[in-house]
Amino acid sequence: MENVVFLILVVVFLAILFIFVARQGSNDAVLEEQLAKQIALMIDEAEPETLIHLRVEDFFEESDNPKIIIEDNVVTVKLANSGPGYSYGYFNSVNVEDKIEDIDSGEFQGRYLVLTIR
């Protein structure tokens, strides 16, 4: 009986390890982390009344329902259909308005995240 319990625990541990490695190794997890940190660092460095255009077209190409949520000094990016996404905080105490726009004028062409810092 002890051996059966031990084998079950080993199988459960290996399954959890496999899921963790598969999630961390996926491209979505890396892109979520990269985009959340990039946005948070830009907000930290921004002065009030700043307008930021960040091209996010490359991040959104492989995702069906991407989400970028900025609230309570935390940027959350969710590109994958499953999983919680990645959250990263910023320290700058500013009000941030965000929207995704498809822009095709002058130097801006593609899908952009437009941040208005107030």
Query: Based on the number of CB atoms within 10 Å of its own CB, is 6 exposed (0-12), middle (13-18) or buried (19 or more)?
Result: exposed
More confident residue, 88 or 19: 88
Q: Is residue 88's pLDDT more than 80?
A: yes
Give the pLDDT of residue 71.
Answer: 93
Q: Does 18 or 57 have the greater pLDDT score?
A: 18
Q: How far apart are CA 105 and CA 109, in angstroms?
A: 6
> Within 10 A of 57 (CB to CB), how many other CB atoms are there?
13
Write down the mean pLDDT value for the chain. 89
Question: Could you tell me which residue, 97 or 65, shows the higher pLDDT?
Answer: 97
